[in-house]
């Protein structure tokens, strides 16, 4: 058996000099008692108890068997260093309360105070609806348009499909192309669908742009027409004008005797 009383530095009648492991145990115990007197675990934002009954430090991502072990960890170098880093990061991200607000911040503050808070609902999507797209033309104005027929057999109670036109720069799925725009149609719990159409002006007249929701058949119908291009419209009017001939052909002039119709003798 080792002689612990006659070690260098030991006193007569006392135990031997403690080793490194015993010193660590004693230090952790003293730190735990000190933390119990100064720290309230109910107010610690980084203290968390998991489903296994052990304790975790959300700041350092460490696992502890009991509260004393966590309290001793909070007094350690690793936890104190991470606290300093988090405080420095929060100070950089948080603006100075004495600094004047910029124009963008003032506008955002006014909009946030004037509008009511929105709450996101967790709805399980059930897939894409069936649809049919038909190209149409107005026989009077010669405008071209599209007719959409979308079936929503499992639509939610009291929900009516909605639509809106979205620019190519507003969507975040495909690369923006100024030659196209998107028609977006949504109805819960179905996935939102969109159709890529030409980036032309939409005729907003009531008889040109309309939608109808058939509650009995669960069918949503939407129709719109593009505005006619002024160049195409002027050319079509010119073609329908009397005396017009296609380009490359000579127009008949009734005042020109060489193109006048031949008169037959009686």
- Rg, Å, the chain Cα set: 40
What does the DSSP assignment read for 156-210? PTT---EEEEEETTT-SSS---TTEEEEEEE-TTSPPEEEEEE---B---TTTSE
Sign of the torsion angle spanned by Cα atoms 68, 71, 76, 81: positive
pLDDT at position 104, please? 66
Please tell me whether the overall predicted TM-score, pTM, comes out greater than 0.75 for this model.
no
- Residue 8, Ramachandran bin (φ over 0: left; ψ between -120 and 50: alpha; else beta): beta
pLDDT in tens, the chain (266 residues): 556 556 666 666 555 566 778 888 887 788 777 777 777 777 888 888 888 888 899 899 999 888 878 888 888 889 999 998 988 888 777 666 656 666 666 676 666 555 555 555 666 778 889 999 999 999 988 899 999 999 999 888 888 999 999 998 888 888 888 899 999 999 988 999 999 999 999 999 988 999 999 999 999 999 999 998 765 555 555 455 554 455 444 444 454 554 445 554 44
CB proximity list for 185: less than 8 A, separation 6 or greater:
148, 150, 161, 162, 163, 192, 193, 194, 195, 220, 222
> Looking at domain 130-230, which of 3.40.50.2300, 2.60.40.790, 3.30.750.24, 3.40.50.620 is its CATH number?
2.60.40.790
pLDDT at res. 116: 57
What stretch(es) of the chain map to CATH 2.60.40.790? 130-230
pLDDT of residue 213: 93
pLDDT at 105: 66
What integer pLDDT is reported at residue 266 of this predicted model? 45
Tell me the backbone φ, ψ of residue 126, rounded to 5 degrees. Answer: -115, 5
Helical segments of the chain, H only: 20-38, 67-74, 77-93, 103-114, 230-240
Span 209-221, pLDDT tens digits: 999 999 999 999 9
Count, residues in the chain: 266
Task: Report the half-sphere exposure of 82 (CA within 13 A, side-chain side).
Answer: 13
Q: What's the pLDDT at 75?
A: 80
Q: Which helix (H) or strand (E) holds 135?
A: strand 130-137
CB 193 within 8 Å of CB 185: yes
State the pLDDT at residue 14.
Answer: 58
């Amino acid at each position: 058996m080792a002689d612990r009383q006659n070690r260098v530095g030991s006193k007569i009648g006392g135990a031997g000099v403690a080793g490194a492991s015993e010193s660590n145990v004693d230090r952790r115990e003293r730190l735990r008692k000190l933390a119990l007197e100064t720290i309230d675990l109910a107010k610690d934002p980084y203290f968390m108890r998991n489903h296994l009954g052990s304790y975790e430090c959300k700041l350092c991502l460490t696992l502890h068997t009991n509260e004393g072990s966590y309290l001793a960890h909070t007094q350690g170098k690793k936890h104190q260093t991470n606290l300093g880093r988090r405080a420095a990061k929060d100070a950089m991200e948080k603006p100075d309360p004495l600094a004047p607000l910029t124009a963008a911040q003032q506008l955002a503050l006014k909009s946030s105070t004037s509008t009511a808070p929105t709450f996101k609902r967790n709805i399980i999507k059930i897939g894409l609806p069936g649809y049919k797209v038909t190209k149409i033309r107005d026989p009077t104005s010669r405008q071209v348009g599209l007719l959409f027929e979308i079936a929503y057999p499992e639509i939610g109670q009291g929900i009516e499909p909605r639509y809106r036109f979205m620019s190519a720069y507003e969507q975040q799925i495909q690369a923006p192309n100024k030659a196209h725009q998107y028609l977006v149609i949504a109805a819960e719990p179905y996935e939102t669908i969109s159709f890529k159409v030409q980036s032309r002006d939409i005729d907003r007249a009531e008889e040109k742009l309309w939608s109808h929701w058939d509650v009995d058949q669960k069918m949503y119908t939407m129709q719109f027409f593009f505005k006619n291009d002024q160049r195409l419209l002027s050319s079509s009017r010119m073609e329908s004008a009397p005396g017009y001939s296609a380009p490359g052909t000579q127009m008949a002039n009734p005042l020109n005797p060489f193109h006048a119709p031949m008169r037959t003798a009686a």
